[in-house]
Structure 1
Amino acid sequence: MTTLPMRFNLLTLLFFCSKISLIAQTNAAEDYIEEYRHIAIAEMHRSGIPASITLAQGIFESAYGKSLSATKYNNHFGIKCKKAWTGKFFYKEDDDFDKNGNLIASCFRGYDSPEESYIDHTNFLMERDRYRSLFGYHHTDYPNWAIGLQKCGYATNKTYGTRLIELIERYQLWKYDHEEEPYPAYFVASDNSSLNLNTTWVKTSREEILSPVPIDSISMKAVSVETVVATQATNRVNRAIILPARYQRGNIKERIANSLN
């Protein structure tokens, strides 16, 4: 009876192990995309940042949502504290060094939920001058967004842009850049003047659809439904998006309760 060479056995084992690892990685990516694609699409329509870029960054920075930063502190984008940050934070070693060249722990932002991390990621890019040039690209132009993030210094990884593009094309994330706003709801006052809606993200069940109550952010009073009409507004600032899945955009509960009393 002949036996297979040891080298053949090892190569076969390595092949099957790599296949199993690839399948597990693909499953993790698909789960992550299904979990967060809705809020990525909504944030795209709020800001112009491609949903594909947001999802690719989330996958890359959080290791498919399984990194300690993501599971314990809900940080999906590797955003550090910076001087103006007043929220939760945690420390871990990354790429900061002291004056002697020793690696030191860096301060990272912490959040109460992954949704907060997604919203803060949008705000982080929108509020910083270094990323301003990116918003000149269309929200379907993911290659320029990916390379642009690298050039603007989002990460120190010299292949950051190409890594994002690889993820986008491997998992076909680009298709989410073409998604329309699901169940768009736009509100204007009865005199046709636009309202500045003060809203935030809240988590609901998959089946539930919320109907947001408009709030005048100046008076902080709820506007009765009878005094507003739905219209197809084009002003992105005044958009209020209703999602048909887990992530719904609703008003802050305390403000609604106070204004209706």
Structure 2
Amino acid sequence: MKRWWTTTGVICVFLAATAIPAQAAEEVATQDAVREAALEPGAVDPEYLAAVEPVAQAVAEEYGIPASVTAAQSILESGWGESRLAVAHRNFFGFKCVAGRPGPIASGCHEYPTTECTPECQPATAAFRVYPSMKDSFRDYGRLISTSKYYAHALPFADDAKVFIREVAKSYATDPKYAGKVIRLMDQHDLYRLDSPE
């Protein structure tokens, strides 16, 4: 079953790192490459963490999603906020538009070349959500995780960030190591502190 809401929903999904059309062929960063770069030992951006922490905590307050998970997923999905989608369109989770519509929070859609694997991989063009701000991207994440039937089974575990992301990952990504990658970021950067602010 294809999961349309994020680039992680289908295995082998790629997102162009540069704008369409002329530069698209020059530099292509796969979503896997974005994630791997986020996991590099020296890949720490204190400014990104400072910007993300209060926004992730606001999502926790509004939607009941652990702030540690929200922050770590944004780091992984956006490569510390450096992915083309994050920089150009403030989309920190790789959410796609559905049937050409951006949903209730995003302000529009922007097309990028991708590769979709269902299960055979082939080039495609997909519309990704455009947000007015980082806060809006994070709110859309919180709204989706807290209201979609695909994640309902995770919600009872919101008090345990590790169990929560393991449950979310079952529907969020086809990568069997996805939850482990998010947990690795939570561990490396002590993001659990965001779940119990003083």
**TM-score when normalising by structure 2:** 0.71
1:62-84 Cα offsets, whole Å, 9 max, x none, are 00001100000000011111235
Structure 2 unmatched ranges of 5 or more: 1-39
- Given candidates 122, 134, 156, the residue that maps to 2:174 is 156
| Bigger Rg over Cα | 1
Counterpart of 2:173 in structure 1: which amino acid?
Answer: A
Q: CA deviation at 1:131?
A: 0.6
- CA distance change for structure 1 residues 163 and 22 in 2, over 3 Å: closer, same or farther? closer
Q: CA deviation at 1:93?
A: 3.8
Structure 1 unmatched ranges of 5 or more: 1-20, 181-261
Q: CA deviation at 1:174?
A: 0.6
| 2:125 match: secondary structure | strand
Counterpart CA distance in 2 for 1:169 and 1:101 is 33
Q: Which has the higher contact order (CA 8 A, sep 6+)?
A: 2
- Given candidates 123, 128, 138, the residue that maps to 2:143 is 123
Q: Which runs of 4+ in 1 moved over 4 A?
A: 97-101
| 2:132 match: secondary structure | coil
* Aligned residue pair count: 155
- Given candidates 73, 92, 116, the residue that maps to 1:76 is 92
What corresponds to 2:165 in structure 1? 146
| 1:120 match: secondary structure | helix
Q: CA deviation at 1:85?
A: 3.0
1:35 aligns with 2:55: no
- CA distance change for structure 1 residues 98 and 125 in 2, over 3 Å: closer, same or farther? closer
1:31-82 Cα offsets, whole Å, 9 max, x none, are 2111110121121021110000000011000000011000000000111112
Q: Give the fraction of aligned pairs with identical amino acids, expressed as a percent.
A: 26
- CA distance change for structure 1 residues 65 and 110 in 2, over 3 Å: closer, same or farther? same
Counterpart of 2:182 in structure 1: which amino acid?
Answer: L
Q: CA deviation at 1:156?
A: 2.7
Is the 8 Å Cα contact of residues 52 and 168 (structure 1) preserved in structure 2?
A: yes
- CA distance change for structure 1 residues 81 and 176 in 2, over 3 Å: closer, same or farther? same
What corresponds to 1:191 in structure 2? none
What corresponds to 1:178 in structure 2? 196
- Given candidates 60, 65, 84, the residue that maps to 2:76 is 60
1:241-252 matched pairs, under 5 angstroms? none
- CA distance change for structure 1 residues 91 and 175 in 2, over 3 Å: closer, same or farther? same
**TM-score when normalising by structure 1:** 0.55
1:19-34 matched pairs, under 5 angstroms? 22-23=41-42, 25-26=43-44, 28=45, 30-34=46-50
| 2:128 match: secondary structure | strand
Q: CA deviation at 1:98?
A: 7.8
| 1:124 match: secondary structure | helix
- CA distance change for structure 1 residues 92 and 158 in 2, over 3 Å: closer, same or farther? farther
1:111 aligns with 2:127: no
| 2:158 match: secondary structure | coil
Counterpart CA distance in 1 for 2:187 and 2:119 is 41
Aligned-residue Cα RMSD (Å) equals 2.1
Counterpart of 2:137 in structure 1: which amino acid?
Answer: S
